[in-house]
Amino acid sequence: MNENSQQFRLLLTLKLRQLHNGGLEGISYDDLYRMFTTHIWKNQKPTRLSDLADQVLNIKDEDIIRWLAVESKIQGYKSTLDDFKVLLDTEEL
């Protein structure tokens, strides 16, 4: 199954709406796409549409939040103070 397929994009959009309706508005389509393509399917992508749908629609909210937390921590370790300079310069104290 191609990760750029119309079915995959539709399933991610449906999952995203489900998450937003559950109060998790901070999660984006790109977050879900990255999680599935770089983490969930790192070693093996589903080959059947039914497997793809099952994995996308039945992943637990807690698993998504946990992955996002780990991902943000990793990105924080890779960042330097200069990466945050723009935020600090524009923020009123």
Structure confidence at residue 84 (pLDDT): 65
Q: What is the pLDDT along the chain (93 residues), one digit of tens a residue?
A: 676 789 999 999 999 999 999 999 999 999 999 999 999 999 998 999 999 999 999 999 999 999 999 998 887 777 776 766 776 676 555
Q: Helix, strand, coil shares of the chain as percentages rounded to 5?
A: 70, 0, 30
pLDDT of residue 34: 94
Nearest one of 76, 6, 75, 79 to 38, comparing CA atoms? 75
Place of tokens 């990793």: 74
Task: Take residue 31 and report the two structure tokens written for it.
Answer: 């977050």
pLDDT for 75: 78
pTM of model > 0.75: yes
Helix orientation angle between 49-58 and 6-21, rounded to the nearest 10 degrees: 20
In this prediction, residue 3 carries a pLDDT of 65
